[in-house]
Amino acid sequence: MRGLRGISIMALVMAPMLVSAQAYVPLLKPNASWQDEHACASMGPNTGKYECFRYYLAGDTLFNDTTYQVLRRTGRKAHTDILYPDQSYVNYHFEELVAFLREDTTERRVYIKYPPSAFTYLFYDFSVGVGPYPDTYRYGSGKTVGSIDTLWLNDGPHRRFNFQPIGSFIEGVGGEQGFLERTIVGEVCWMDRLVCHVPVDSANYIVPSDDCPCYSNVSVPEWTEQAIHVFPSPTTGQFHMQGAPASAPFLLRALDGRVVGSGTCSGDGSATIDLSFLPGALYLLEVGDGERVRRVKVLKQ
């Protein structure tokens, strides 16, 4: 497995204004894998629980003429007892069958079937906008998507869905707090994270190692919003942008998260963007800046 350090803004080689909806990024790519890490503690009995699992796709199978991907895991689960050390233990799991997954790229949904159940459940729904999130096997019920933004990973842009008040999942990647829900419990669960995601043969993000180990200090950096200059706004057609990094990629996004335009700034960090073909509304301009995204709103009348 070959690692690529960090999340980076990828330079998009495009015309100054290429208009298209952002392409869907499939989750179930051949040989994909996810490394999850979780930790909990119980203060009363002074015990701790920890698990680290690599989930991976291992071929496919048929159920009623429908193809499912086989999901397996390899890793370990540990129990630590401070008061009674002799009751501490570590269990190792090798190539263990977990579930069967199916993705509908038209619906932008992923489904899961757990053996020996005959039922198939909704696992991830990447078709949603801002608002209520449907009941899923991964997140249960009662979730609300508060915002949608875009991350540039090593394999390109991915939409990120941010729950209120906390939690998020990424199109083509899965949950940032773990691809699957943790299987350990405790009074306080203080670590839930996706250590890394490998879509085919190179890691999308791993910090700082190139080997996706557990105990890595891994997270998706929060990109702070910084002002850039756009004028005129409101506009009836074109507007101009200044103050962006030289040759920086940008996305024009509707407030529901859809990408309605994209392009690349000139060498002096400016661009002229045409909104004449779009309906009157508020739009969000996102400009890549190293490992951050600079954002500004523009109003089309």
Q: Of all residues in the chain, what percent carry a pLDDT higher than 90?
A: 36
pLDDT of residue 213: 62
Between CA 95 and CA 105, with CA 101 as vertex, the angle to 5 degrees is 140
Between CA 279 and CA 288, with CA 283 as vertex, the angle to 5 degrees is 135
pLDDT at 20 over 70: no
pLDDT of residue 284: 81
Q: Classify burial at 91, counting beta carbons within 10 Å of its beta carbon; exposed 0-12, middle 13-18, buried 19 or more.
A: exposed
Domain segments of the chain: what residues? 33-198, 229-300
Supply the mean pLDDT for the chain: 81
pLDDT of residue 13: 30
pLDDT at 212 over 70: no
CATH architecture of 229-300: Sandwich (2.60)
Predicted TM-score (pTM) of the model is 0.65
pLDDT digits (tens, 9 = 90+) for 50-81: 999 989 999 889 888 899 999 999 989 999 99
